[in-house]
Amino acid sequence: MVQRIAAVVTQCIDCFGKIVRAPTTLAPSSPTFGKDMADQQTRFNVWAGNIGAHRTGLSSLDYRLRDSSQIEDQVLSLLKDLIELMQDAHNILMGNEVPWDKINAGDDEDFDGRDTELNQISVDIADVGLTHEGGDAETIASSLPEYLKDVARGGQPLPINAIGDEGSDSGCSQTSYATSLAGLDQC
């Protein structure tokens, strides 16, 4: 049976809920972990809502990717990675797993205590999809036009006239007939 994106997104939402609802006293070595996870939960919910990842039917991401099996597989893989990370974090929070920073703390002379497994999981959850197995060629950011990548890296946005019209053969803006007529008060 083919796994649907909406079902995996629901699992992700459940995992985020478990982590966010966990008592903050369970992560004393990572005081910002709960806040970081709440931020990531909000970002995930916005993403899912914007593209219909949690929906079924004609407005769903599953439906829109029906002819793009590679992209659908990539989305499912990223979501499963996210679930695995959140399950690891939940197991650590609930005491079912001992984090590597607790195991190695006594054995490692160079261990400075600032980097905990929960902090690393938090960073990994934020980075899911940015540095996935496929590398930069597989990321969403790699498909952005160059002028948007500069803004994403903290550069200043380019003025409108500096942005080329990549979608037009003539280089001019293409408007519809209805828009042109409305400007001439002929409607």
Inside any domain, residue 24: yes
Inside any domain, residue 107: yes
Inside any domain, residue 178: no
Predicted local distance difference test score (pLDDT) of residue 104: 56
Inside any domain, residue 14: yes
CB 87 within 8 A of CB 15: yes
Inside any domain, residue 121: yes
Structural domain for 14, as ranges: 5-143
Inside any domain, residue 185: no
How far apart are alpha carbons 90 and 121 in whole angstroms?
10
How far apart are alpha carbons 38 and 52 in whole angstroms?
21
CB 20 within 8 A of CB 38: yes
Longest dimension (CA), the chain: 81
pLDDT (tens digit, 0 to 9) for every residue of the chain, 187 residues total?
Answer: 467 899 999 999 999 999 888 876 666 667 788 888 899 999 999 999 998 888 888 888 888 988 888 999 999 999 999 999 999 888 888 878 777 767 755 555 554 445 777 778 888 888 776 554 454 444 444 554 555 445 444 555 545 444 444 444 444 444 444 444 444 444 4
Its pTM surpasses 0.75:
no
Inside any domain, residue 179: no
How many domains are contained in the chain?
Answer: 1
Inside any domain, residue 167: no
CB 6 within 8 A of CB 56: yes
